[in-house]
Amino acid sequence: MTVQSTDLEAQLDAIRQEAQQALTAADTLEQLEQLRVKYLGKKGPIPQVLGGMGKLDPADRPRIGARANEVKDAIQQDLDRRRTDLQAAQIQAQLEAETLDVTMPGVYTPQGRVHPVNAMTDRVVDIFVGLGYTDVEGPEMETDYYNFEALNFPPDHPARDMQDTLFLPDGNLLRTHTSSVQIRYMEANDPPVRIVMPGRCYRRDTVDATHTAVFHQIEFLAIDEGLTFTDLKGTIREFLTQLFGEVPIRMRPSFFPFTEPSAEVDLQWKGRWLEIMGCGMVDPNVLKSVGYDPEVYTGFAGGMGVERLAAVLHEIDDIRRLYTSDLRFLQQF
């Protein structure tokens, strides 16, 4: 039995029509892929139809072959068009689902800032680091040895009194100054030394406008061959100029067990002389206590209260304000 070429053409047209309808109806990319396999795959209907060509009049074969290719191309085009549409629709749906309403109020994130005590500490440490000093810290819980004895405090010195120092039940104490860090550092390092030591300190003080039981100090220490009082004065001059600008300063004789001679430094600020730090030439006994030879090495040291510096610079009348966590106050700095 011979096959009429018109039968095959009709079959091809039917395939084309069926595929077109199916593709139009597909509404997901997965369905589209299934239809591609169904209509254009090797096991699809077109190869099947072409399998019937053997029974055709040879003269008709090229025409049917060409027709089969046309149908294949047409289905491929429908497929591509539908795929483009579906992809666009998918992107559009995604855009709609993820749309931002830019008129909605934002989420308020409060902006933190550095506490004035920490900001002042950073400034002071930065200045000393700029002068070649290294930033060093030590423990807040100390022994009597590091806080007093190695710093040349006599056993009956009033600072050791229960009135001033917070002792712990085990006989240790909360350091009353950062000078203890000097000893720890010198014990562990050979001269020359140039260090700056910020840290929290504790005293059994009655809290008032100029005292808090917990406060902050910054200590500096330089040990080398041939350091003199002139070096101390020049260092303080440079430091205070960087912090306060060109202000008048003066040094008054004072006393500390760990320095000899000792001095108090004042600066003139808004028309008043304000005491700003203690300082002096490191006492030979302190150098001996850490194993430095006082015949070879000399040095100077100084210590200042950070709250005090902040109070002077920012004209704060009561340093307790620094610790009441009142943001209206703290946000000014």
Give Cα separations from 116 to 16, 63, 92, 231, 323 (angstroms).
Answer: 81, 92, 52, 30, 10
Site for ligand DAH contains 301 (CB under 6 A) = yes
CA distances from 270 to 187, 248, 321 (A): 42, 11, 21
Residue 177 near ligand DAH by CB under 6 A: yes
198 or 303: whose CB is closer to ligand DAH? 303
Three-class DSSP category at 161: coil
**Contact flag: residue 303 with ligand DAH (CB under 6 A):** yes
Per CB under 6 A, 175 contacts ligand DAH: no
Which two structure tokens, joined as six digits, stand for 186? 């010198």
Cβ(173)–Cβ(167) under 8 Å?
A: yes
Per rule CB under 6 A, count of chain residues that contact ligand DAH: 11
In this structure, the number of other CB atoms found within 10 A of the CB of residue 31 comes to 15
Minimal distance, residue 104 CB to ligand DAH, in Å: 55
State the nearest-atom distance from the C-beta of 329 to ligand DAH, in Å. Answer: 26
Q: Which of 11, 179, 212, 298 binds ligand DAH (CB under 6 A)?
A: 179
Closest CA to 249 of 221, 277, 227, 228: 277
Binding pattern for the stretch 244-263 against ligand DAH, x by CB under 6 A and - elsewhere: ------------x--x----
Minimal distance, residue 286 CB to ligand DAH, in Å = 10
Which CB atom, from 12 or from 201, has the smaller least distance to ligand DAH? 201
Give me the least distance between CB of 259 and ligand DAH, in Å please: 4
Nearer to ligand DAH (CB atom), residue 82 or residue 203: 203
Q: How far apart are CA 166 and CA 66, in angstroms?
A: 104
- Give the one residue of 276, 278, 307, 319 binding ligand DAH; rule: CB under 6 A: 278
**Using CA atoms, how far apart are residues 259 and 278, in angstroms rounded to an integer?**
10
Q: Is 147 in the site for ligand DAH (CB under 6 A)?
A: no
Cis amide prior to 192 (ω within 30 degrees): yes
Q: Does 302 bind ligand DAH (CB under 6 A)?
A: yes
The token duo for 126 is: 């930065």
Which H/E stretch holds residue 35?
helix 29-40
Q: How far is the CB of 242 from ligand DAH (least distance, A)?
A: 19
Neighbours of 279 (CB within 10 A): 26
Measured from the CB atom, the residue of 116 and 303 that comes closer to ligand DAH is 303
Interaction between residue 219 and ligand DAH (CB under 6 A)? yes
Q: Which residues bind ligand DAH (CB under 6 A)?
A: 177, 179, 219, 256, 259, 278-280, 301-303
